[in-house]
Amino acid sequence: MAKNPLPHDAAFELDRHGVLRVPALLWVAFALMARHWVLLIVIGASARREGSSVLLLGDGGIPWVALSMEVPIVLLALAAFNRQPGAGAWARGLWKRGREIVALTAALNVGWTANLLIKSDYWTPWPELFLASCSLIDAAIALSMYTTPYYRQLFDEFPARPWAEPPTP
């Protein structure tokens, strides 16, 4: 249960295990921060119908470096899916470090985008300014993780194991 319960509000709903529910806005934030993974999945699904959708990946093909930098946020999203009493230690450990993982992914995305923009000869609305906007959104998401009490409590909570022994004094 919560250590410092937030005031009851419809937005602060508890799930069936008695901990704060992961809000839809956080799922959207996870998707935005893992945008290369989302793009790859969408392209993979649509490439069967239309082969030209692979061109969205750009001249370099699959952005392996960007995908590898977003692995922590993808794993955190998987831990969010596994927020249940029977979850393993990996999900509990990742969830406990969730705010740090969000900040790390935001910093990596901002760094990657800054590198791309520095190497760019000129800026155009697509994709350079779009990527810069995504980096600002990443930074705002990371900032909200540390300034909002809701997220602090959300990442401190995880459903207790049903077989857990009571803590020793």
- Our count of domains for the chain comes to 1
Q: Is the pTM of this model over 0.75?
A: yes
**117 lies in some domain:** yes
50 class by beta-carbon count within 10 Å (0-12 exposed, 13-18 middle, 19+ buried): exposed
The pLDDT tens digits for 64-118 are 888 999 999 999 999 999 999 999 999 999 999 999 999 999 999 999 999 988 9
The dihedrals phi and psi of 87, each to the nearest 5 degrees, come to -65, 150
Interatomic CA distance for residues 117 and 114, integer angstroms: 5
Could you tell me if residue 79 is inside a domain?
yes
User: Whole domain around residue 83: which residue ranges?
Assistant: 24-156
| DSSP code per residue over 107-126 | HHHHHHHHHHHHH-SS--II
